[in-house]
Structure 1
Amino acid sequence: MAKRHYIPVTADVPGAASEGNCALIRKVIRTALAAEGVDFPCEVDVLLTNDENIHAINQDMRNVDRATDVLSFPEFDLTPGQLPTSEDADPGTGLVPLGDMVISMEHVAAQAKEYGHPKRRELAYLVVHSVLHLLGYDHLDEGPQKRQMRAREEAILAELGIGR
């Protein structure tokens, strides 16, 4: 898998952007993009934060007054299976900007404990979940959309060797 995607990972909380977390996030994003057929250079920006900061972002951007585990801000209005093209690339960078993801590391730790699996697995799951949102997947209903998204999440995690 070519390392041609630009995936800056920043953190506004100490220690969140460790070498291990950054390497895992980049590997998961690259694997998810390849699994979804993204064969052009793109950019995905990642912010690792805490519950207080993701709460403020959720309030500002979505008018939702609570913390959450992950927020996704897609650049394009896509449907599953529909992809932007190289024509959508930023002329200055040659990269297609897919969007931004914000992850609460406090939620990562709490949910890993709640579900009884390692933080690494929870972080990988949230990254896959966010990438799929950037590519047009959604789970607003409890029916086919949610099942389709969950199936893709599990398939990508299995490809990474990250099981439950």
Structure 2
Amino acid sequence: MAKRHYIPITSDVLGVSDSKCAFIRKVIRTALAAEGVDFPCEIDVRLTDDETIHEINREMREVDRATDVLSFPMFELTPGELPGEEDADPGTGLVPLGDMVISLEHVAAQAKEYGHSNRRELAYLVTHSVLHLLGYDHLDEGPMKAQMREHEEAIMKLLELER
């Protein structure tokens, strides 16, 4: 039997369709598979607006502005390192990878700014967040950022949403 990932999605905004949620789950599963996550895990997703993500950013990171996506990893991993099945919640058998929060207002604005679809922008931000949950970062302008971008582009290609 195939191992399953649990991906609950909550929304603070109106108009989030079942198909959008299914798409987000597909992107997450594609990113996890591309990164070799073959054990059952959980990622919690919250879809919100700029005002709410601004509040979360201020409270959790002490950054007083809205942003596109926030990632809250459960583990401090390095790229390529994965938690073990011993990290699974004994009650569910799932490894909790962390949470992501996405501003759908930012998705729309950035899609327009970059000249591509909301669907592509949403997929990119979800992919970006999954990689953060798996230890990737882009704090420098050097090798870490380049490595993260390479993985993002590979996953977007798998989704047939490359630039």
TM-score (norm: length of structure 2): 0.98
User: Which residue number in structure 2 is paired with residue 15 of structure 1?
Assistant: 15
Distance apart, 1:15 and its partner CA: 1.2
User: Which residue number in structure 2 is paired with residue 54 of structure 1?
Assistant: 53
Kindly provide the amino acid, as one letter, of the partner of residue 144 in structure 2.
Q
Q: What secondary structure does 2:102 align onto?
A: strand
Aligned pairs for 1:96-115 within 5 A: 96-115=95-114
Q: What secondary structure does 1:72 align onto?
A: strand
User: Which residue number in structure 2 is paired with residue 146 of structure 1?
Assistant: 145
Distance apart, 1:160 and its partner CA: 1.0
Q: What secondary structure does 1:46 align onto?
A: strand
Does residue 41 in structure 1 map to residue 44 in structure 2? no
Kindly provide the amino acid, as one letter, of the partner of residue 87 in structure 1.
E
Distance apart, 1:21 and its partner CA: 1.2
TM-score (norm: length of structure 1): 0.97
How many residues matched?
A: 162
User: How much is the aligned-residue C-alpha RMSD, in angstroms?
Assistant: 0.8
Q: What secondary structure does 1:131 align onto?
A: helix
Q: 5+ unaligned residues in a row in structure 1: which ranges?
A: none
Distance apart, 1:123 and its partner CA: 0.1
Distance apart, 1:3 and its partner CA: 6.3
User: Which residue number in structure 2 is paired with residue 28 of structure 1?
Assistant: 27
Kindly provide the amino acid, as one letter, of the partner of residue 130 in structure 2.
V
In 2, distance between residues paired with 1:89 and 1:114? 40
Kindly provide the amino acid, as one letter, of the partner of residue 68 in structure 2.
D
Q: What secondary structure does 1:117 align onto?
A: coil
Kindly provide the amino acid, as one letter, of the partner of residue 13 in structure 1.
V
Q: 5+ unaligned residues in a row in structure 2: which ranges?
A: none
Distance apart, 1:158 and its partner CA: 0.1
Distance apart, 1:129 and its partner CA: 0.0
In 2, distance between residues paired with 1:161 and 1:20? 17
